Structure 1
């Protein structure tokens, strides 16, 4: 275990699998105390045990990012348990499989997507980022510092055929992030975006189409997020805000800072 993040308190939403779990492990191994949130008690328990096996300080909490009461409960948990929060990672989201399980191999045009399916995904992927950030920012304001990291996806995803409503949800989250960065710049609260840089091996890929998709796409390992999430959570990134960082290009991006 390194000590890059020793003493840091970090919450990662939707961290029971995929990118979220990979990031939780990375910051935990770097010395941070981590709160994992999700909407399945079983998955939260399994994720906590997996991270705890790394000799890490990790906790789990039920939190639906669309439920303001559950979000407020999480704020109270952080306040009572830690007293402070250093980093919020907005990661919880749902994918195209919720509206079209064959989205990568048999994309459907936007006009075939149900209004309910559209609202459901936007409410989670975009409104969820807003609600969680809105609830936790007062802790940062009280401390006079803080960091928000919003997880995003490739710009290609925002333009790709058959990617409504997932594409618009991530495009909206990027605009939200940039405006949040401007709103919070004078408050010493950084807001940055982080994305893998390609299709990633996560639960958003339907199991029944996994083999077929692997034949068409070279999937990234979720651990590609490890180095950049540790950097963005650390004091080394102090003063950096409003950035959009692609994980597979992280080292090249970081070298330009010197």
Structure 2
């Protein structure tokens, strides 16, 4: 029997084999969703999916490198063939550009001396990759009765917060790669939301907070599960939920 003869809620999360993405996958699976683990490394993706299945969830690995157009197209075909639709897309995959260094401590991102190739690489994943995946999955999302898109951003994306000389971000090193990429992602979120509002597709940006993950060399003070909570909340909004917003778990954030 074809797996999409009856509607099941299907969620795709990019970069979901570890960290915040994996925690979001675990939480959505616990809510009864079919979760697709997007991962660049097929082995790591399958290990994560197997762990979720062992815990009682319905999880499947999908090889997906957001910066590789061929894998993006292949992933969309897989979702189409197996499920026929997509209900939730969480664009979680992201890079700092500075290896195992927190964006807050990345001396190689100081604007006056940054390597342009690094800036391009960060934007390729954090911005252009989101466009590629979102556009590939939109036809499938349009078949959902309640489609939701969540773009994983950062408090650092806020121009209001980062431009305050007396605010909590004043001590951070200036960044010409990671931070602007997340600001651009916020702008992109609003543009998608404005276009898709009439179709009932809610599109929001989420700031997980300072989470203990590889991206900051495990210096964060929140657990991945705590960071994932806002992603899950935005992924499960009701029809009257917000769109074109920027949220942390504590509520709306300034742009």
Using the size of structure 1 for normalisation, the TM-score is: 0.82
Distance 1:102 1:17, change over 3 A: closer
Q: What secondary structure does 2:215 align onto?
A: coil
Distance in 1 between residues matched to 2:225 and 2:102, nearest whole Å = 25
**Whole-angstrom CA distance in 1 between matches of 2:106 and 2:30:** 40
Inter-CA distance 37–243: structure 2 relative to 1 (3 Å threshold): same
SS at match of 2:89: strand
Q: After superposing the two structures, state which structure 1 stretch, 134-143 or 120-129, moved more.
A: 134-143
| Alpha-carbon separation, structure 1, partners of 2:106 and 2:151 | 29
Of 216, 228, 232, which aligns to 1:230? 232
TM superposition shift of 1:147: 1.2
- The more displaced of 40-49 and 82-91 is 40-49
Contact 1:22 1:226 in 2 (8 A): yes
Counterpart in the other structure of 1:41: 42
Q: Given the two structures, how large is their TM-score scaled by the length of structure 2?
A: 0.83
CA shift at 1:241, angstroms? 1.2
Shift of 1:162: 3.3
Structure 1 residue ranges without an equivalent (≥5): 1-5, 254-258
Alpha carbons of structure 1 residues 145 and 30: separation in structure 2 relative to 1, 3 Å:
closer
> CA separation in 2, counterparts of 1:11 and 1:146?
12
Partner SS for 1:93: coil
User: Which residue is equivalent to 1:151?
Assistant: 152
Alpha carbons of structure 1 residues 125 and 235: separation in structure 2 relative to 1, 3 Å: closer
Q: 1:107 maps to what in 2? A: 107
1:129 corresponding residue in structure 2 = 130
Partner Cα separation in structure 2 for residue 118 and residue 23 of structure 1: 28
Query: Residue 180 of structure 2 corresponds to which residue in structure 1?
Result: 168
Q: Give, in whole Å, the separation in 2 of the partners of 1:230 and 1:41.
A: 24
The C-alpha deviation readout for 1:69-110, integer Å capped at 9, x for no partner, is 211111111111111110111001111423x84754463422
Task: Give the match for residue 55 of structure 1.
Answer: 56
| Contact 1:178–1:191 (CA under 8 A) maintained in structure 2 | yes
Distance 1:56 1:152, change over 3 A: same
Cα RMSD of the aligned pairs, angstroms, is 2.3
Is the Cα contact below 8 Å between 1:103 and 1:163 reproduced in 2?
A: yes
Counterpart residue number, 1:141: 142
Q: How many residues align?
A: 234
CA displacement 1:25-64 (0-9 Å, x = unmatched): 0000110000011111222122112212220100001111
Shift in alpha-carbon separation, 1:175–1:157, aligned structure 2, 3 A = closer
In the alignment, structure 1 residue 74 sits paired with structure 2 residue 86: no
Counterpart residue number, 2:192: 180
Structure 2 residues not aligned, in runs of 5+: 1-6, 163-171
